[in-house]
Structure 1
Amino acid sequence: MSVESAVDRDRAAAHRERLAPYVEPHLARRARGEKHPVHDFMFGYYSQRPAQLLRWSAGFPESASLDEVRERRPLIETTRRLLAATASRPAHTGCFGLHEWAMVYRSAAHGTRHPQRLRLGDTATDEVVESHRITCSHFDAFRFFTPDARPRNTLQPGRDDRPDFEQPGCLHAGMDLYKHAFRLSPLVLSDLVADAFELAWEIRVLDMRAAPYDMSGVMLDPTGEEWTPVRIETADGKREYAAAQAGFAERGAPVRAALIAECDRLLAELG
């Protein structure tokens, strides 16, 4: 075995070891037919399967050909355009996670997206929505607003105008760095995919801690901690959420920059 292949083998093992604490509990729950209200999102909403996440790639040109780069040129270009537009804007941290509340606004008529009961009940949850300014900039969150909540949003993002709205303080824009990274696989190094995955995992926890659902007793992988709410309906909860949101925006910036650099590198290969 060559030195290079031995190094790749070690890096592949390290990659799998890094992500196993997230993947293995999910696979065990799936085998038992159990659902997790927080973590299943990472393996359901996002289309990359656990086996794909665990698979190591050294990136282009070690793990992919120039033909693959050429075939994915439209994806690379649109991804770069969205990431660069997002990075060009300041982080807005005043939304307080109200997108999740708008998704259950007037739930007595529209229902909820999760089986857990609402922490404040139907009426008080509606009052939180009605007493706040909703400023969601992310289409893939906005599209799940209830019909009564959609007109309350100050923005009306659409499916095809994401570069006009995305901003780096948005939790969903931070989580979607994982989507952009794995969609570029195996053209990009798997370390970058893992970085984006771990960031998205932590953001998802905050996203649901600030949501209106009561998830008492839910345990969080891989720490084993019990879920606790961020009570964004209070001043203290707003401060806690905004501080965490700013921290994730700061952590997401180098991941976004690395993805932009990878897109530039791949496009340069095409001339």
Structure 2
Amino acid sequence: MPESQWQPLAAAHAERTGPWIEDRLARRAEGRTHAVDDFLFDYYPFSPNKLATWHPGFGVVLEGRAAQPYLARAGYRAEGDGVTADLGWLEGKRPRLDLAIRILAGTASRAP
């Protein structure tokens, strides 16, 4: 995916997630809490930094110089002149993904 195409997608992600992240960091700095928003950050393994990072998804090769910092992140590798998500990294997460799939399938098949 050309840099001119993926950079606006990454910027749109930053626009959407920025307010959530800024509020979380401000509350934490001031010692305040928000019952729901803070629960989501604390319960799920998404730090503000992780949430701030846009990911292209598997099978997409990011082109351009701006893609190079992704190589420093876990789960990415060089692909030709670009950078892509590494499916091999996902294999290590397989047991957790299988468990999540079983739980979701079980709950989806139950009546409300």
TM-score of the aligned structures, taking structure 2 as reference length: 0.68
Per the alignment, residue 79 of structure 1 pairs with 100
- The root-mean-square deviation of aligned C-alpha atoms, in Å, is 1.7
State which of 83, 86, 93 in structure 2 corresponds to 1:65.
86
Per the alignment, residue 56 of structure 1 pairs with 54
Whose RCO is larger (CA < 8 A, sep 6+)?
A: 1
The 1:76/1:38 distance shift into structure 2, 3 A limit, reads closer
Task: Kindly indicate which of the two structures has a greater share of residues assigned to helix.
Answer: 2
TM-score of the aligned structures, taking structure 1 as reference length: 0.31
State which of 9, 12, 16 in structure 2 corresponds to 1:14.
12
Per the alignment, residue 90 of structure 1 pairs with 111
**1:113-168 Cα deviation digits (max 9, x unpaired):** xxxxxxxxxxxxxxxxxxxxxxxxxxxxxxxxxxxxxxxxxxxxxxxxxxxxxxxx
Secondary structure of the residue that 1:39 maps to in structure 2?
helix
- Residue 65 of structure 1 deviates from its aligned partner by 1.2
The 1:77/1:59 distance shift into structure 2, 3 A limit, reads same
- Residue 38 of structure 1 deviates from its aligned partner by 3.3
- Residue 64 of structure 1 deviates from its aligned partner by 1.8
- Residue 82 of structure 1 deviates from its aligned partner by 1.2
Per the alignment, residue 28 of structure 1 pairs with 26
Which amino acid in 2 is paired with 1:27? L
Distance 2:21 2:90 in 1: 29
Q: Which runs of 5+ in 1 are unaligned?
A: 92-271
- State the identity %: 42
Aligned length: 89
Per the alignment, residue 64 of structure 2 pairs with none
Task: Kindly indicate which of the two structures has a greater share of residues assigned to strand.
Answer: 2
Distance 1:28 1:46 in 2: 19
Q: Which runs of 5+ in 2 are unaligned?
A: 61-83
Which has the higher Rg, Structure 1 or Structure 2? Answer: 1
**1:58-107 Cα deviation digits (max 9, x unpaired):** 1113342121122222122222111111111122xxxxxxxxxxxxxxxx
Which amino acid in 1 is paired with 2:105? A
Distance 2:43 2:87 in 1: 30
The 1:11/1:35 distance shift into structure 2, 3 A limit, reads same
**1:5-51 Cα deviation digits (max 9, x unpaired):** 22211111111111222221111121222222332112122221011
Which amino acid in 2 is paired with 1:14? A
Secondary structure of the residue that 1:89 maps to in structure 2?
coil
Per the alignment, residue 35 of structure 2 pairs with 37
